[in-house]
Amino acid sequence: MTTALITGSTAGIGAAFARRLAADGHNLVLVARDTKRLREQATELHDRHGIEAEVLTADLSAEEGIKAVEERVGRRRDGVDLLVNNAGFGNKGRYLEVPLADELTMLKVHCEAVLRLTSAATEAMRERGRGGVVNVASVAAFVPRGTYGASKAWVVQFTQGAARDLEGSGVRLMALCPGLVRTEFHERAGMGTDNIPKWMWLDADKLVTAALADLARGKSLSVPDPRYKAMMGVVKVTPRALIGGVTSRTGRKYGPK
């Protein structure tokens, strides 16, 4: 039986990955900061699907948290077959309105942790000749708007580059770029959502189904919804200065976690 490790597993997209992978018979390593929620989630998934669910409490904005997860994904015995780097957050406010310390914390979670966990996991996976990594980014990666989008653009470029370097190794890497998903993300960041059209919201469980299908097909980039694929097509042919002006007026809305 294979094992999947999911960061940010207790809510949103991470929880949807946990539900789907448990239903498919995968053992899980659940990673988040809240031990109580992790244990409740592990018990529920074990009781419902009969899988083993290991709990790993870790704060990926802290060195000790990253090290703990690095050690777990890098094991050669009882290793991880699938890594889902999902942990993340958003800051409310425009550039220079957000404290620099908060911006640096975002980069540690979105970039440093993703780099280190992916590297530890794929090194072990390459030795076994199999495995997969899903790095959750965002459609914000394609829009010039603030640190959040910039960090997610890094995730996309890193993941696709690493996927090319590991071609033929049996290890697949994919950047997942969802649009708006109804999760705790916006509430935690203090972002209002009342002005966002209903059609822009995605269902987390359907998103995960599409993402896993794309990973199985060997895609290195997944935008798992026709609406957002169409929007990204428009973005590609629209001058970046114009896109930047629009996003500057509307503020930071895109946050998939």
Catalytic residue annotation: 148
Neighbouring CB atoms inside 10 A of 167's CB total 12
Q: Which two tokens stand for residue 65?
A: 């948290």
Q: Give the C-alpha distances (Å, rounded to integers) separating 106 from 91, 150, 191.
A: 8, 11, 16
d(CA 161, CA 73): 21
In whole angstroms, what is the distance from residue 185 CA to residue 89 CA?
A: 6
Q: Which amino acid is at 193?
A: T
d(CA 7, CA 2): 17
Nearest to 3 by CA among 175, 128, 100: 128
Single-letter amino acid code for the residue at 43: T
Closest CA to 41 of 1, 14, 2: 14
Least Cα distance to 5 among 61, 100, 87 occurs for 87
